[in-house]
Amino acid sequence: MESDKHHSRLMEKVRLAMYSRPFVCVAARSCRRIELVTVALMLFTVGGTSCSRPVAQREYPVQRDFPNVLLISIDTTRRDHCSTYGYQRPTTPVLDELGEQGAVFDLAYAPIATTAPSHATMLTGCYPISHRLIKNGLTLDDDYTTLPEMLRPHGFQSAAVVSAFVLDSKFGLAQGFDHYDDEIPPTETTWKRDELQGLTVPQGSVDRRADFTSSRAIQWLRSQRNPERPFFMLVHYFAPHFPYVPPEEFAQRFVPAGAVRQSMREQVGLYDAEIAYTDTEIGRLLKELETLQIDQNTIVVLTADHGEGLKQHGYMFHAIHIYEEAVRVPLIIRYPPQIPAGRRFAEPVEFTDLVPTLLDLLEIDVPAGLFQGTNLAGALRGEAELEPGRAIFLHRRHFSGLYRGNQFVKGELFGIRKGDWKYIEGKEEKLRQLFNLQDDPLERKNLLNQYPENAQRLVQLLEQWRRTNYNAKPALNYMTDEDIRKLRSLGYVQ
Ligand SMILES: [Zn+2]
């Protein structure tokens, strides 16, 4: 009986893995492994059992004593407007302390400057050109595997508390979550619009306030989660996103009394106040981990989905550029049992790294080459070095040709950073730019004509990256350790 139960559980995951089709093989070894698993799965499914996607609500036994994972994403937060990264205003005292207790990444990149695509990369470990949720309003294909789906077979429960209409469950990001709180009561919104980027906004409420989000997250932690099971939780705050309307007590800290709040200087002050307000609310959430005595046993990852233009390149907001202010974000990881306090990393990292890193910190098998990103766990533990010259890849989705502010945007943009050099190209905008970020961190001086060979090297890497990852389908490991052992004992996996 027990063995029947186990067999049907195995079958279920086998089917899951079959839905995740193998993609480009980064490493031959993992490729063989995927093929072998697929063969094994096909063998297991002989017998006419119909293939259907398993219901997300299924619970698996907890295999061992896992820590929890709390992933906090703040919308629209530039790294250089956080005091953690040297900003002159005290915007982020909570993040500063979190960073002192954990590891801070100085050179972390979002893959794209748009909310839903960036979150899809955080949750799947795939670049936007792979998962294809490249703009708000598209839906993450069910074929892709989210982190809560990967953790479920290990006995995890999962919850998300999100604060913007563009992360509504109907856009596919809720897959794998047991609890997905995307409710935006009209009384809690700061941004009323009936339409956003061509999408109808239910009840005319685009976002919800940070205090409401923290309260909902705390409510789940206190009374809705099962304390016998580990959890994965995503908490998304929207406040720093336009409109910049922080609670008055925060506004007064950053904008002089009586100032005209429409001026650029005051708008930036209000933006900073929104970051400070969100920081305070994150403090309330982190305090709850202490109250529940799970702070030492919870991996906390804090980042932002993208930055904000603030007219550094002429545009106030985000989504149309991939300059540094649009894509460089804070990234802090705290987990005292494995990560020494106070580490700072200068090497470049990106969102595709989060999934393999978290799986490794949870001590779940992470086969080399299976993921698009880099597993940072060894470096976090102080056991390995990160590669300073690693390339980082950036993307902006296709626009058919329109004005955003005074900027005409058309076609796609692609970018690559490697070492001190950054190259951006937009074929339809006839844009080719090469910057030396060491000498010119604000990306003002296009060096394309002076250093054509440098640009050409980056073009080749960019093309190779596009060829490898464009619209690729990820094959991810759904197996529990126990299942892998079983398949291994049967000779199906190495
Ligand atoms: Zn966003």
Q: Pick from 327, 297, 276: which is nearest to 84 by CA? A: 276
Q: Are strands 231-237 and 68-74 parallel, antiparallel or unpaired?
A: parallel
Q: 372 CA distance to ligand 1 centroid (A)?
A: 22
91 and 150, same domain (yes or no): yes
300 and 410, same domain (yes or no): no
**Radius of gyration from C-alpha coordinates of the chain:** 22
Q: 76 CA distance to ligand 1 centroid (A)?
A: 5
Domain count, the chain: 3
Q: 337 CA distance to ligand 1 centroid (A)?
A: 31
Taking ligand 1, which is a single-atom ion, which protein residues have CB atoms under 5 Å away?
Answer: 75, 115, 305
188 and 54, same domain (yes or no): no
Q: 199 CA distance to ligand 1 centroid (A)?
A: 16
Angle between helices 481-489 and 2-19 (to 10 degrees): 100
Task: Round the average pLDDT of the chain to a whole number and report it.
Answer: 86
Q: Which of 319, 352, 380 is the last residue of a domain?
A: 380
Q: 304 CA distance to ligand 1 centroid (A)?
A: 8
431 and 288, same domain (yes or no): no
Query: Distance between CA atoms of 344 and 96, rounded to whole angstroms?
Result: 12
Segment 267-301, tens digit of pLDDT: 999 999 999 999 999 999 999 999 999 999 999 99
Residues contacting 64, CB < 8 A, separation 6+: none
Segment 202-236, tens digit of pLDDT: 888 899 999 999 999 999 999 999 999 999 999 99
> Given this model, what pLDDT does residue 371 score?
87
311 and 370, same domain (yes or no): yes
Q: 89 CA distance to ligand 1 centroid (A)?
A: 22
Q: 120 CA distance to ligand 1 centroid (A)?
A: 12
Q: 115 CA distance to ligand 1 centroid (A)?
A: 3
As a whole number of Å, the end-to-end CA separation of the chain is: 28
Q: 103 CA distance to ligand 1 centroid (A)?
A: 23
Is 420 within a domain? yes
Q: 322 CA distance to ligand 1 centroid (A)?
A: 14
153 and 36, same domain (yes or no): no
CB 98 within 8 A of CB 285: no
Q: 77 CA distance to ligand 1 centroid (A)?
A: 9
pTM of the model: 0.86
Q: 456 CA distance to ligand 1 centroid (A)?
A: 32
Q: 136 CA distance to ligand 1 centroid (A)?
A: 9
Is 130 within a domain? yes
What Cα–Cα distance (Å) separates residue 408 from each residue in 273, 320, 377, 403? 30, 9, 41, 4
110 and 128, same domain (yes or no): yes
371 and 402, same domain (yes or no): no
Q: 335 CA distance to ligand 1 centroid (A)?
A: 26
Q: 220 CA distance to ligand 1 centroid (A)?
A: 23
Q: 112 CA distance to ligand 1 centroid (A)?
A: 10
Q: 312 CA distance to ligand 1 centroid (A)?
A: 18
- Does a cis peptide bond (omega within 30 degrees of 0) precede residue 243? yes
Residues contacting 211, CB < 8 A, separation 6+: 281, 284
Average pLDDT over residues 484-488: 59
Amino acid in position 343: R
Is 13 within a domain? yes
Query: Distance between CA atoms of 255 and 141, rounded to whole angstroms?
Result: 44
For position 423, which CATH number holds? 3.30.1120.10
Q: 217 CA distance to ligand 1 centroid (A)?
A: 19
Segment 331-380, tens digit of pLDDT: 999 999 999 999 999 999 999 999 999 999 999 988 777 889 999 999 99
| Range(s) of the domain holding residue 15 | 2-60
153 and 276, same domain (yes or no): yes
224 and 279, same domain (yes or no): yes
Segment 157-184, tens digit of pLDDT: 999 999 999 999 999 999 999 999 999 9
> Given this model, what pLDDT does residue 38 score?
33
Is 491 within a domain? no
Q: 273 CA distance to ligand 1 centroid (A)?
A: 17
Q: Pick from 88, 211, 106, 226: which is nearest to 161 by CA? A: 211
Q: 128 CA distance to ligand 1 centroid (A)?
A: 14
> Given this model, what pLDDT does residue 284 score?
98
